[in-house]
Structure 1
Amino acid sequence: MAETLRADALRNREQILAAARRLLVEYGPDHPLEDIARAAGVGIGTLYRRFPDRAALVDAVISNGMDQLVAAAETALDEEPDAWSALCRFVRFCVSMRLGGLSSVIDAQRHEAIRLQPETIRRRLVLTAALGRMVRDAQADGMLRTDVDVGDIGMVINVHVRQSAGLAHLEASVDARLAELLLAGLRAAAEPEFPLPGVPLTGPDIGG
């Protein structure tokens, strides 16, 4: 049976995961856990009670990130009036959260092991299905260019994963501008003037 956390314990866990994602991406996977606990507003003992070692924390950050991606995609589909609006909302969320950032800095073998875990595969399939619905419906509505597929969207949202050193004060502005630049290139109106080379990337092409 899954563990049910008290509200304060759940809040602590979420704060630790958010701090870990930000600091590990910014400073690397070996950043001191004491700094992560301090940034989360908890004691190091609290961190270790939730995550007994660094590997467990990294696993949890990546797992939590996948959960957020799936939730964001499904919520966008449920709440937005059309598939293009849902896709725009999802891309903006991904850019602002930089959820793929940790994957870009951890050890390649560790990342591959996490990627092949059954639960990671399950989440990826759910996400791929949601993105597939956005892509197909937005293309049918004439809003999304026809020479892209789910894999292309996956690559697009992984473009922006780290904030340049010394530019933290521009973070919100950079995120917002980049999201709109990416979406402008995905619009159907961009396709005639800026055709893409090669063939569309599918979900299976990128492991989805």
Structure 2
Amino acid sequence: MTSVQQVDQGVSPLTAEERATISEAMKEAQTLLENNNNDANEIQLATVAGVMKNSQNRPLMLNKTLDGFGVFVVAPPTNVGGNNGSGEFIHRAPTFPHIPGGGGHGPVIIGCKAALIYGTFDKALPQLGYLLAWFKAQSSDEHKVYVETGDLSKLMEMEWSDVEQKLDASSNQSRYVDSETGAMAAAQINLLGDNLALLGASFDRVLFDENTSQS
């Protein structure tokens, strides 16, 4: 088998099953946003409401949060059940502009940007890992999402700088299949007004047989 690889992001379309799962997740994300957006001042800040669907039968546990900038209004769950279990979160831009590097001179960035890494935690091997990253700019239509899957230990070694570079090169849709473990993920982020965005993600696994070729 070949090594971990991105599946032609922006070229290879989502499958019909992934589109249906993400569409359902988007609807849940909009309901979540409506139920948690009551402050007139806060809704002026860039905000991402996300719902993750775990379609495989193995439950997932949150292993790591990679913070670019922003705060969780609704924290991502510690566990996401299998067999189409859902996990939700709301991530919002900080009240004050973010300066890369933590101080000094530099460009001011306003918006929200972060990543989550989930992984299986049962006794079965391999331990599968699922990374989901997103960005929503303040008062701009720029919005991006990135997913990556594979062996959990490999994803856990990634630094924020590595994730951010891949996220910056992504678009509003991302799909990834790991040809070693079969772990697969797909995600899409859509605008909902100037500063609001909905994110839907699908975590799954495909089983390869010896006759399956991976390009």
Question: Is the helix fraction higher in 1 or 2?
Answer: 1
- TM-score, normalised to structure 2's length? 0.27
Larger radius of gyration: 1
- Point out which structure has higher relative CO (alpha carbons under 8 A, 6+ apart): 2
Question: Is the strand fraction higher in 1 or 2?
Answer: 2
